[in-house]
Amino acid sequence: MSELLFVGLGLFDEKDLTVRALEELSRCEVLFAEEYTSRWGEGALRRLSERLGRPVELLEREQVEEGGKVLSALEGHSRVALLVVGEPFAATTHVSLRLSVEEKGHAWRVLHNASILTAAASLAGLSHYRFGRTVSLPRPVPGFRPTSPYDLILANWRAELHTLVLLDLDPKAGVFLLGGEALQRLAEMEREKKGGLFVPERRVVVVARAGSPTASVHVGRLTELEGKDFGPPLHCLIVPGPSLHFVEEEALRRSAPTQGTAPQGPVG
């Protein structure tokens, strides 16, 4: 019986791998990675490959979802790894692969790591226990401008909960929905839905490059932040609920752009 190891890379580069992950990877015979659910920091995959002294093959979305390449490797090797940015099973697509692995009679294990799902709230200083369901915001494309994200954020708001809004990305094409544009989308949805959620004075949060040396948190009214440039991706949004704990309130106040961003130095 062979084993597939799902390895979480954390949020930025090869140094975000855990000590255990590095040890385990050095014992794996075949190393795969994917970069379609998120992206690695510049040069990180190459440096990891050098550090491990062997190639890391980057798989396309279709290759992971169809599974053939990974499953073939498991037929000829006892230890195979798939490297995934963040936490491995945060993307449902990898649960499908693990089911295929089980189906073929192989084992799997996971090495957890940091995820934007928790890092964003941490950076903003908002309580993880006061978040409702996470919402994904797609890039607007002709003929596809769904407003369902608005409804989900509004449902959280009405339940007095914060919302983490993840922004659409296509790393292969180099296309990332950025914070300023995403806020414009939400303001557009407000004009259509008229739920009173994204009024001009609504306080919103942009978290840029969480987990990287240039991580930053920006807090302001929708009109202040929409369309603004927060630097390179990845970005995400947080829509705070209607009432904040005083610690949350203070954390947001200190993250306001006029007072500098919260993380004050590089990560690495």
**Site residues for a second copy per CB under 8 A:** 3, 8, 10-11, 14-20, 22-23, 87-90, 92, 95-96, 98-99, 102, 107-115, 117-119, 121-123, 125, 127-134, 136, 155, 159, 161, 210-211, 245, 247-248, 250-251, 254, 262-265, 267-268
Closest separation in Å from C-beta 211 to a second copy: 5
Calpha distance 71→235 (Å, rounded): 34
Q: Which is nearer to a second copy, 187 or 219 (CB)?
A: 219
φ, ψ of residue 65 to 5 degrees: the values are -70, -40
Closest separation in Å from C-beta 63 to a second copy: 18
Closest separation in Å from C-beta 265 to a second copy: 6
- Of residues 245, 252, 194, 187, the one with CA closest to residue 218: 252
Tokens of 38: 């998120």
- Listed in sequence order, the residues at least 6 apart from 105 whose beta carbon sits closer than 8 Å to its beta carbon are 1
Q: Which is nearer to a second copy, 163 or 187 (CB)?
A: 163
Calpha distance 180→206 (Å, rounded): 8
CB 130 within 8 A of CB 239: no
Calpha distance 173→108 (Å, rounded): 31
Closest separation in Å from C-beta 268 to a second copy: 6
Tokens of 85: 């940015």
Closest separation in Å from C-beta 191 to a second copy: 26
Length of the chain: 268
Calpha distance 123→136 (Å, rounded): 19
Give the residue carrying structure tokens 């929905």.
177
Closest separation in Å from C-beta 94 to a second copy: 9
Element (H, E) at 49: helix 44-52
Q: Which is nearer to a second copy, 77 or 109 (CB)?
A: 109
**Distance in angstroms between the alpha carbons of the first and the last residue of the chain:** 39
Q: Which is nearer to a second copy, 96 or 223 (CB)?
A: 96
> 4 exposed, middle or buried (CB, 10 Å; 0-12, 13-18, 19+)?
buried
Q: Which is nearer to a second copy, 119 or 186 (CB)?
A: 119
Closest separation in Å from C-beta 25 to a second copy: 12
Q: Which is nearer to a second copy, 153 or 210 (CB)?
A: 210
Q: Which is nearer to a second copy, 98 or 218 (CB)?
A: 98
